[in-house]
């Protein structure tokens, strides 16, 4: 194999010199030097504004946020809820409220040094009550909604109601991987169906999903031994087990299979109030209060 000589570069003729593009900075300097005095002042003003405006936005102090002080001085945390969603929130029609969210709101209010005052509002109107200052917060089985984050502030999660795996008590299923080749019942159109499809497609070979019109029918099929498991909403599972006295026959394996977190919403400017609520939630979780509250209002068989 012979070496191929590199081609020789021809020297450009004097009258064919290549023009080089000036670097960006010198070109801008050239425009500056050739500009009229009036245009120079305009260019300078534009450059100063381009630097100053973002700097002012960054350095400008945020407006004072009296939200926590306002609540504490009033001695009341006004909580918006739709009391038609047991066991999270319900009412007897005489102004007495009860449920998981009600107990939680009262615990948060105590942590803030105030009392909770409940305002019963239809669910579709809850968000509107924040900017009108009819309420301070929403605690009403509210799921995190990314599209609302420009209008409201959300707390950390206080309860995950993602679907859980339910099996018969004599089943050898201990984890989702054990569902390979088995039939799993789900409610048609539910989050449980979404989870079952995800498991079948990506994680558990041979898993077969069987849909039912309701969670209750899916759980009844499990109780009869027609399916190996059910993936369903934990609150619905708790209600079925308690209503049918099925705690000796069914059990829940593990925790939620997806993130369906309930959160608290506050006005978008009420940062100090929401920070105090987040601290209260973290303390209540560390104390085991949130777990005890769930076990009280919707116990699950283990």
Say if 67-160+260-297 and 164-253 have the same CATH topology.
yes
Flag whether pLDDT at 59 surpasses 70: no
pLDDT at residue number 114: 99
For residue 184, the number of C-alpha atoms closer than 13 Å in the C-beta half-sphere is 31
Contact 231, 257 (CB under 8 A): yes
- Write down the domain spans for the chain: 67-160+260-297, 164-253
Flag whether pLDDT at 37 surpasses 70: no
- How is domain 67-160+260-297 classified at the architecture level of CATH? 3-Layer(aba) Sandwich (3.40)
Which of 118, 270, 240, 259 is closest to 191 using CA atoms?
259
> DSSP 3-state assignment of 286?
helix
Rounded average pLDDT over 127-134: 97
Flag whether pLDDT at 103 surpasses 70: yes
Rounded average pLDDT over 171-181: 97
The pTM of this model reads: 0.77
Task: For 253-287, give one letter per residue: b (16+ CB within 10 A) or e.
Answer: beebbbebbbbbbbbeebebbbbbbbebbeebeee
Residue 187 has which token pair? 């409610």
Flag whether pLDDT at 137 surpasses 90: yes
Rounded average pLDDT over 83-104: 95
Please provide the average confidence, as pLDDT, over all residues in the chain: 86
Which of 111, 104, 181 is closest to 142 using CA atoms?
104
Class of domain 164-253: alpha beta
């Amino acid at each position: 194999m012979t070496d191929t000589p590199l081609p020789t570069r021809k020297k450009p003729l004097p009258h064919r010199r290549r023009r080089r593009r000036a670097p960006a900075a010198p070109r801008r300097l050239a425009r500056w030097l050739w500009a009229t005095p009036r245009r120079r002042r305009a260019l300078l003003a534009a450059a100063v504004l381009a630097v100053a405006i973002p700097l002012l936005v960054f350095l400008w102090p945020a407006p004072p946020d009296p939200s926590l002080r306002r609540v504490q001085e009033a001695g009341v945390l006004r909580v918006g809820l739709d009391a038609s969603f047991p066991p999270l929130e319900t009412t007897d029609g005489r102004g007495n409220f009860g449920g998981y969210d009600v107990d939680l709101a009262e615990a948060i209010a105590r942590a803030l040094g105030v009392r909770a005052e409940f305002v019963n509002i239809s669910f579709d109107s809850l968000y509107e009550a924040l900017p009108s200052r009819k309420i301070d917060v929403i605690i009403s089985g509210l799921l995190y909604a990314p599209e609302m984050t420009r209008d409201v502030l959300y707390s950390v999660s206080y309860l995950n109601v993602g679907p859980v795996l339910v099996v018969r008590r004599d089943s050898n299923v201990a984890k989702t991987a054990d569902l390979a080749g088995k039939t799993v019942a789900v409610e048609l159109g539910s989050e449980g169906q979404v989870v079952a499809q995800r498991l079948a497609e990506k994680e558990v070979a041979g898993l077969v999903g069987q849909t039912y019109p309701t969670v209750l029918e899916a759980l009844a099929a499990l109780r009869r031994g027609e399916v190996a498991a059910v993936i369903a909403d934990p609150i619905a599972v708790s209600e079925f087990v308690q209503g049918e006295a099925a705690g000796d026959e069914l059990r829940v394996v593990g925790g939620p299979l997806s993130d369906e977190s309930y959160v608290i919403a506050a006005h978008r400017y009420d940062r100090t109030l929401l920070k105090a609520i987040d601290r209260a939630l973290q303390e209540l979780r560390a104390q085991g209060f949130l777990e005890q509250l769930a076990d009280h209002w919707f116990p699950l068989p283990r």
